[in-house]
């Protein structure tokens, strides 16, 4: 009788269950989501192009290479062009045009749009992600860690959060579903990378809003921020394992965001290789990030959990290039055009690697495109969560689990959308208020200021050097119409044209 009871209990445990209306599987893999800030498509020794480039030879990322050799790399993966929109889309599965966190956030009820001579910008969700009603201009949605937490995961946040403005609930990752918060708050960059500077902006006479919180035990010590966050993240994983809990580790580094600092573990060899001071600091930041990846995965291996741990690697937008770098602006992501803040490929195409033991084929590559909001449903599917309904019943993301399984699926004819009715600040190719669509090999960008189009065939012109808008009016108008229809369907906000005293026309409607 006792043996039968034990068998019954075992069957019930393996069958899964329902929590809060969401069905989940009892056998749950651990999930590590490793997010890098401002890392370009080329900032790695792993080639995401069809050939090894000079940038691939510049950077040293052996742990990324090891991960790619064990999993699948995505050669056409996309995020938003700046950080907060990407992070909110990741947390909600919603496109930025729908959740309206279209620019980077910091202070409550305050926009970071730079002034523009011809446009006045809409009242976008400047406060970011908030779990509470009544906060002006916020998106109300169930965040990814909250769903995973209800499904039994220990949810760990380490590093940069940047989900909500100062003084809103979303500024603290624990308010959006994380059990543990290590170093995350409202700001989108570090005060300093150096423990000797207490990770504070005081050294540069900066606002203390940038100071990284919660790492006081490292203050005054010769430790780099990337290393301190990694040590603490591994401790949190150790506690989850000791408690018998599957874990979701969101390792979201401040690296490789400005302000750069020399990581002395790696800096000098890049100087010896001929890089200037700024680029040597940047390359050292990249290698320090890669060391963190190796340390996180080594800790997983130490616990004997490698075969039951999914690892996802990505960046939150294209690599910084318009300012703050050594050398010529807008060239740091070649062959891609431009960089962070741009609608061009250099601003939105990012490195993505996925390793799911027993599912992904080692050393494989996927050439089908995915976008940031796809991570939300994909991670839920990996975790065995079914029947989840986002607030409002809408999900823009599409799970890429079939691609990981190399199952037959839709070719690259799904439409991807970007919407940035904002002004980041710098000038450069593709930088400025715009809306974009990619469908198949074609990509159309609609610029709000002068309502002009750029049309590129990415299969033939990855560097977006030849604008085909006038040569292919049928393609231009078809994509413009689809882009306009999408923006209408999500209630997207458009800037005000100061000269005409009316909102900028939607793409496909500019002559109506």
pLDDT of residue 14 exceeding 60, the answer is no
Bridge-based pairing of strands 30-36 and 309-315 is parallel
Q: What is the pLDDT of residue 133?
A: 66
Question: In the chain, where are the structural domains located?
Answer: 28-404, 415-503
Round to whole Å and give the CA distance between 184 and 174: 9
pLDDT tens digits for 202-244?
999 999 999 999 999 999 999 999 999 999 999 999 999 999 9
Confidence check: pLDDT of 511 > 60: no
pLDDT tens for 132-188 read: 666 677 777 899 999 999 999 999 999 999 999 999 999 999 999 999 999 999 999
Dump pLDDT digits (tens) for 305-327.
999 999 999 999 999 999 999 99
pLDDT level of residue 496 (50, 70, 90 thresholds): very high
pLDDT at 16: 42
Q: Would you place residue 283 in the very low, low, confident or very high pLDDT band (cuts 50, 70, 90)?
A: very high
> Is the pLDDT confidence value at 245 over 90?
yes
Task: Say whether domain 28-404 belongs to CATH 3.40.720.10.
Answer: yes
Over the range 441-463, which residues count as b (16 or more CB within 10 Å of their CB) and which as e? ebbbbbbbbeeebbbbbbeebbb
Is 25 a residue whose pLDDT tops 60? no
pLDDT on residue 40: 97
pLDDT of 97 > 90? The answer is yes
Give the pLDDT band of residue 27 (cuts 50, 70, 90). Answer: confident
User: Has residue 77 got a pLDDT over 60?
Assistant: yes
Which residues, 6+ apart, have CB-to-CB distance to 199 below 8 Å? 190, 191, 192, 193, 211, 212, 215, 218, 219, 225, 228
With both helix axes pointing from N to C terminus, report the angle between 62-70 and 277-302 in degrees, rounded to the nearest 10.
50
Q: Are 456 and 67 in contact (CB under 8 A)?
A: no
Upstream peptide bond of 256 is cis (omega within 30 degrees of 0): yes
386-399 confidence digits (pLDDT tens): 989 998 889 999 99
Please name the fold of domain 415-503: Arylsulfatase, C-terminal domain (3.30.1120)
**Average pLDDT value over all residues in the chain:** 93
Res 274 pLDDT > 70: yes
Residue-wise pLDDT tens digits, 448-481: 999 999 999 999 999 999 999 999 999 999 999 9
Angle at Cα 352 formed by Cα 41 and Cα 281, nearest 5°?
45
Task: Give 164's DSSP letter.
Answer: B
1, 154, 161, 248 from 158: Cα distances, Å = 47, 13, 8, 11
């Amino acid at each position: 009788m006792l043996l039968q009871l034990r068998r019954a209990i075992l069957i019930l445990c393996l069958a899964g269950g329902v929590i809060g209306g969401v069905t989940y599987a009892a056998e749950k893999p651990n999930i590590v989501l490793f997010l890098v800030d401002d890392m370009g498509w080329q900032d790695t020794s792993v080639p995401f192009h069809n050939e090894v480039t000079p940038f691939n030879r510049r950077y040293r990322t052996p742990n990324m290479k090891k991960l790619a050799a064990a999993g699948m790399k995505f050669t056409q993966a996309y995020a938003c062009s700046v950080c907060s929109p990407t992070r909110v889309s990741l947390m909600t599965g919603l496109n930025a045009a729908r959740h309206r966190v279209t620019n980077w956030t910091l202070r409550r009820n305050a926009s970071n749009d730079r002034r523009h001579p011809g446009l006045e910008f809409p009242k976008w969700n400047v406060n970011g992600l908030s779990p509470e009603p009544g906060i002006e201009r916020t998106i109300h949605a169930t965040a990814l860690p909250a769903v995973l937490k209800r499904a039994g995961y220990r949810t760990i946040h380490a590093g940069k959060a940047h989900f909500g403005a100062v003084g809103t609930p979303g500024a603290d990752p624990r308010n959006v579903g994380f059990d543990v918060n290590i170093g995350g708050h409202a700001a989108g960059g570090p005060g300093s990378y150096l423990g000797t500077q207490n990770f504070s902006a005081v050294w540069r006479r900066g606002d203390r809003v940038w100071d990284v919180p919660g790492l006081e035990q490292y203050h005054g010590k010769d430790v780099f921020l990337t290393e301190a966050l990694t040590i603490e993240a591994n401790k949190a994983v150790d506690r989850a394992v000791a408690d018998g809990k599957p874990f979701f580790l969101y390792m979201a580094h401040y690296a490789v965001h400005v302000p750069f600092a020399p990581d002395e573990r790696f800096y000098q060899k890049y100087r010896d290789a001929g890089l200037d001071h700024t680029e040597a600091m940047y390359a050292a930041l990249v290698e320090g990030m890669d060391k963190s990846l190796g340390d996180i995965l080594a800790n997983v291996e130490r616990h004997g959990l490698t075969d039951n741990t999914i690892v996802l690697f990505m960046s939150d937008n294209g690599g910084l290039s318009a300012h703050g770098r050594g050398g010529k602006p807008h060239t740091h992501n070649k062959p891609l055009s431009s960089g962070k803040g741009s609608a061009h490929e250099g601003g939105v195409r990012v490195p993505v690697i996925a390793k799911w033991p027993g599912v992904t084929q080692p050393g494989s590559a996927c050439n089908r495109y995915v976008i940031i909001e796809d991570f939300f449903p994909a991670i839920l599917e990996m975790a065995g969560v079914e029947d989840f309904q986002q607030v409002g019943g809408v999900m823009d993301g599409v799970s890429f689990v079939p691609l990981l399984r190399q199952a037959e699926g839709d070719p690259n004819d799904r439409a991807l959308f970007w919407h940035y009715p904002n002004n980041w600040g710098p000038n450069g190719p593709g930088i400025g208020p715009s809306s974009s669509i990619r469908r198949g090999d074609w990509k159309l960008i609609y610029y709000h200021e002068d309502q002009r189009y750029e049309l590129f065939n990415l299969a033939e012109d990855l560097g977006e050097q030849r604008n085909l808008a006038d040569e292919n009016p049928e393609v231009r108008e078809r994509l413009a119409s689809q882009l306009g229809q999408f923006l209408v369907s999500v209630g997207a906000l458009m800037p005000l044209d100061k000269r005409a005293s009316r909102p900028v026309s939607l793409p496909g409607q500019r002559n109506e």
